[in-house]
Structure 1
Amino acid sequence: MPQDYLKRILTAKVYDVAQETPLDLAPCLSERLGNRLLLKREDMQSVFSFKLRGAYNKMAQLSPEVLSRGAIAASAGNHAQGVALGAKRLGTTAIIVMPMTTPQVKVDAVKALGATVILHGDTYDDAYTYARQLEAEKGLTFVHPFDDPDVIAGQGTIGMEILRQCQKPIHAIFVAIGGGGLISGIAAYVKRLRPEIKIIGVEPMDADAMTQSLAAGHRVRLPQVGLFADGVAVREVGEETFRLCQEYVDETILVSTDDICAAIKDVFEDTRSILEPAGALAIAAAKIYVEREQIQDRTLVAVACGANMNFNRLRFVAERAEMGERREAIFAVTIPEERGSFRRFCECIGTRNLTEFNYRIAGEREAHFFVGVQVRDREDAAEIAATVAAQGFKIIDLTDNELAKLHLRHMVGGRSPLAEHELLYRFEFPERPGALTKFLNCMSPNWNISLFHYRNHGADYGRIVVGMQVPPDEMSELQAFLETLGYQYWDESQNPVYKLFLG
């Protein structure tokens, strides 16, 4: 009952280990959205996640006798740190079963808190089953990551803090959903005191167990879940959390991987903090909601619920963030294999920045290349496609094509029997508008480009590799071109890697 949860939340024992986190304005994102977006900074907890609230509250309620036997939990990472910290603070032991796919940063953090880590299975559910088996064998106390009233109440203290920290009207609170403990606790408290506030749950498109369950009217078990947002990769939501969500959650929003990456970038630009994928779900959904509802000047709250990010994953996040913001479009373009065609294509792009260009000569009549372009929005991308098509070129929009974004963009190339008299050069040039166009305009029209690779990596300088078919009697003109261009360059024509894979 709501009264029961209200009392549980008000008396929850969380502040021995948790801090009351700030409710910070995201100034840049707020201005862009035309609404006041507040971030509940649970990423600032000592374990960089909200999970210690519920875990500690559960363990603190146990009798000394039960607590002395030790605790066990299954977790993809953040709950594990909460249990490990709770065990350390309460003077007991903890065993944590984690999926084999858990980011190493989370495994190391749990070990550093003194818990024993066992890696088992590919998903949370595999780890959960094994943890339950060990619980029975060793007589330990299982600390559920979400489907427990004390855990739910611990997470609900976030809702209590939000209402205390923001006295002004709140239009909606956005909360990530894994098993449902976080949103259940927040919703049970907020709806009891401020029922007019919308509670909106957020799930990845490939891990939407709560969304499917609410639509079906009963808990749905997913056959598999995506692992990018590993903190919410749960196949089946809790029984109690499902009941509470049915009663209190107004709606759920599904977000894509690109949406999540864009949200991570948004939060970084406002706070200089880097959220993990699950931690950025709420921000991604707030953006989608504002665009869908066309609201203005409202106060929105997004729970930034975790920051246990693997550093290596940042490469992928940076690659996909621009697409999540709809600020990069990628295309496959086919043009006639004749001099001047590439220049005509560049004229179609106009003053927009090229973000990527991959090409390898492959046929005598047609040239196929993969190109990325910085755009204002999806309408701008459609305008580019129409302009290119009007020139008689074939163009396919690949912006939503996962195969192209994940793999094919890195596989354009190979050997070509048509690359006669090819020389390979690597260049660095200042990363500013017009630099690439300057390079193309300085080249002799007699030299055919047989290979081209460029990708904007966010540095102050751009890097390209160019294959040029230069007749042997024009080497002096080539040298003059290289010297007057003003860009740093390297002759890679004798590079063994080039000879092995491209030459």
Structure 2
Amino acid sequence: MSEVTQAKDAELLSGADYLRNILRAPIYEVAQVTPLQDMDRLSARIGNRIQLKREDRQPVHSFKLRGAYNMMSQLTPAQRKAGAIAASAGNHAQGLALSGHKLDVSATIVMPLTTPAIKVDAVRSFGGKVVLHGNNFDEAKAHAEELAQQYGYTFIPPFDHPSVIAGQGTIGMELLQQNGHLDYVFVPVGGGGLAAGISVLLKQLMPNIKIIGVEAEDSACLKAALDAGCPVTLDQVGMFADGVAVKRIGEETFRLCQQYLDDVITVSSDEICSAVKDIFEDTRAIAEPSGALSLAGLKKYVEVHQLQDKQLASILSGANLNFHGLRYVSERCELGEKREGLLAVTVPERPGAFLDFCHILGGRTVTEFNYRYNDDALANVFVGVRLMQGQEELDGIIHDLRKGGYPVVDLSDDEMAKVHVRYMIGGRPSKPLKERLYSFEFPEYPGALLKFLNTLGTHWNISLFNYRNHGADFGRVLCGFELEDKDLLSFTSHLHELGYQWKDETENLAYKFFLAQ
């Protein structure tokens, strides 16, 4: 049965039907009742009682086990004998593998070739059979569906199925048992299974509780669907919070989210990094980015709506983090909390100018200072400043610098400046170039760079190249090309042929300040 057919059939289910299915879900044969833990430090800081639902404490370190087991437990004897299959690069794969081991059902998981070894090994350790295929999730899913047709496997979708939704909804039941006085519950949204399951249960039993969906701004498929009135497919999604990097929300999950969620909020990667730090400081747990997503949304919602003295819960949905990804989190968390500002400042080349500049900063801690002599008149300086009072303090610094005769641009929200330019200060071409600048996300698989060079590098001269990877499934690349205007149409055609995510950065201010001619 296709996912579309399943979703259409599921439209017959009422809220009461879902409530019954959630209460009858046999997931505790394998899953744990996870703690609802107080976050004392964060609670004191923002003036509300904050609690964290610790789904990282599940045997597979994420909530996905609940939905996978609930659906697999309902397979017929014939289906169990044939086996189950799924496509996943992470948590759903591990949930399916452990469920198959517990139920004695052969579980095959198709994972993209780009999947880190730590995740592949984890699936195998739970007894799953791994098939590596394709360079992204869509290619892996297509192959999984082909294998399901060929061998008669039952396809277990990651979110858009009533049984999966009901399994995830058991978290809502636990929340009420652990704190029946909650005012708000914040739930991460990728494909919508968790948000649908929790919201449909809570609204049946405690409709006064406000349920807020939280999305990463670069993969906000629910928000796009709500704006359009139906599920739509995003052109591309960011991969930092890979657990919620879904281009299209499910049909049934959208129906339920549209009906039962009270609000939706989006957060940036920096805000997610800040939430990862908050979780660590309060609990010593290390959340994956998508696992900290709902706490990031909680913090932002509290600030926007000026909530005080409320009881708020968020879901730590997973902790399957590639350790090296913490480099990125550590680097960006201060920006997400508005505890650091990044500035491009023009300083005159005269004796004492730097000292005057430091006097204007007023003894604040400088976290970063990048400078290289450029000409006899002016220098562009890249500066990081520690902040104690957030954006208001940064605005004051900018005002004082401009008043003191120092032109300044705020780069705190400039992604290219934070990922690439801060490491490349001083790299200007020694001769005039007709240069255009592009950023790319490279899939981390053998031959990715070779494909890039074969597609683009043999046609146009590469004038700048910077590669950054923080342990993710993709690398960030900044690349300059010598391009005449007449070449742009052909060049763009080759970009589409390449198939990597890209963005034209030629007009970026950080580039103009520090790298351009």
> Under a length normalisation based on structure 2, what TM-score does the superposition of the two structures give?
0.79
1:410 equivalent among 423, 430, 438: 423
For residues 29 and 336 of structure 1, the distance between their equivalents in structure 2, rounded to whole angstroms, comes to 43
Distance 1:83 1:415, change over 3 A: closer
- 2:110 alignment partner in structure 1: 97
Q: How many residues align?
A: 416
Deviations 1:282-341 (A, max 9, x none): 000000110011011000110110000111111111111000001100011111111111
CA contact (8 A) 1:178 1:233 kept: yes
Q: Distance in 1 between matches of 2:117 and 2:280?
A: 22
Shift of 1:103: 4.0
- Match of 1:265, SS? helix
Residue 13 of structure 1: CA displacement?
1.1
Distance in 2 separating the partners of 1:5 and 1:92: 26
Tell me by how many angstroms 1:76 deviates: 2.7
Amino acid at match of 2:324: N
Cα distance, 1:118 vs structure 2: 2.3
1:349 alignment partner in structure 2: 361
Report the counterpart of residue 496 of structure 2 in structure 1: none
Equivalent of 1:399, from 399, 412, 416?
Answer: 412
Q: 2:340 aligns with which of 328, 337, 341?
A: 328
Deviates more, 1:407-416 or 1:229-238: 407-416
Contact 1:105 1:308 in 2 (8 A): no
SS class of match (1:261): helix
1:20-169 to structure 2, matched below 5 A, reads 20-168=33-181
Q: Identify if the C-alpha distance between structure 1 residues 404 and 6 changes in structure 2 by more than 3 Å, giving closer, same or farther.
A: same
Q: Who is 2:210 aligned against?
A: 198
Alpha-carbon displacement from aligned partner over 1:228-251 (angstroms, at most 9, x marks no partner): 111111111111111111110111
The equivalent of 1:211 in structure 2 is: 223
2:190 aligns with one of 178, 183, 194: 178
Whether contact under 8 Å (1:104, 1:310) holds in the other structure is no
Q: Is the 8 A contact 1:357 1:370 kept in 2?
A: yes
- In the alignment, what sits opposite 1:466? none
Q: Kindly provide the amino acid, as one letter, of the partner of residue 64 in structure 1.
A: P
Q: Aligned to 1:339, which of 351, 371, 385?
A: 351
The answer on 1:249 being equivalent to 2:261 is: yes
Given candidates 250, 254, 271, the residue that maps to 1:259 is 271
Query: Of the candidates 387, 401, 414, which is equivalent to residue 388 of structure 1?
Result: 401
Tell me, in whole angstroms, the C-alpha distance in 2 between the residues paired with 1:103 and 1:225: 19
Q: Could you tell me which amino acid in structure 2 is paired with residue 327 of structure 1?
A: R
TM-score, with structure 1 as normaliser: 0.81
Residue of structure 2 equivalent to 1:501: none
Checking the alignment, whether the CA contact within 8 Å between 1:356 and 1:371 is kept in structure 2 is yes
Cα separation, partners in 2 of 1:8 and 1:140, compared to 1, 3 Å: same
Query: Which letter does structure 2 place at the counterpart of 1:174?
Result: F
Relative to structure 1, the CA distance from residue 166 to residue 8 in structure 2 (aligned partners, 3 Å threshold; closer, same or farther) is: same
- Give distance in 1, aligned partners of 2:38 and 2:193: 25
Specify the code of the residue in structure 2 equivalent to 1:172. Answer: Y
- Structure 1 Cα separation of the partners of residues 331 and 109 of structure 2: 33
Percent same amino acid among aligned pairs? 54
State the structure with more CA Rg: 1
Deviation at 1:101, TM superposition (A): 4.0
Tell me, which stretches of 5 or more residues in structure 1 are unaligned?
A: 418-503
Q: Which runs of 5+ in 2 are unaligned?
A: 1-13, 431-517
Contact 1:125–1:235, Cα closer than 8 Å, also in 2: no
- Provide the C-alpha distance between the structure 1 equivalents of 2:152 and 2:363, rounded to a whole number of angstroms: 68
Deviation per CA, 1:232-282, whole angstroms, max 9, x where unpaired? 111111111111111101111111111111110110110111100110110
* Residues 1:231 and 2:236 aligned together: no
What is the one-letter code of the residue matched to 2:326? L
Match of 1:499 in 2: none
After TM superposition, the structure 1 = structure 2 runs for residues 463-482 of structure 1, keeping only pairs within 5 Å, are none
Partner Cα separation in structure 1 for residue 129 and residue 229 of structure 2: 39
Which of 311, 314, 322 in structure 1 is aligned with 2:326? 314
Which range is displaced more, 214-223 or 124-133? 124-133
* 3-state SS in 2 of match to 1:87: helix
What RMSD, in angstroms, separates the aligned Cα atoms of the two structures? 1.4
> Does the 8 Å contact 1:84/1:115 carry over to 2?
yes
SS class of match (1:333):
strand
Note the C-alpha offset of 1:343. Answer: 0.7
Q: Give the letter for the 2:123 counterpart.
A: V
Rounded to whole Å, the distance in 2 between the matches of 1:213 and 1:99 is 27
Which whole-Å deviations, capped at 9, do the CAs of 1:27-85 have from their partners, x for residues lacking one?
11111111011100001111110000110111111122211211100113101000000
Aligned partners of 1:202 and 1:124: how far apart in 2? Answer: 22
Q: Which amino acid in 1 is paired with 2:382?
A: F
Distance 1:207 1:131 in 2: 23
Matched, 1:278 2:290: yes
From 23, 27, 30, give the equivalent of 1:10.
23
Moved over 6 A (4+): none
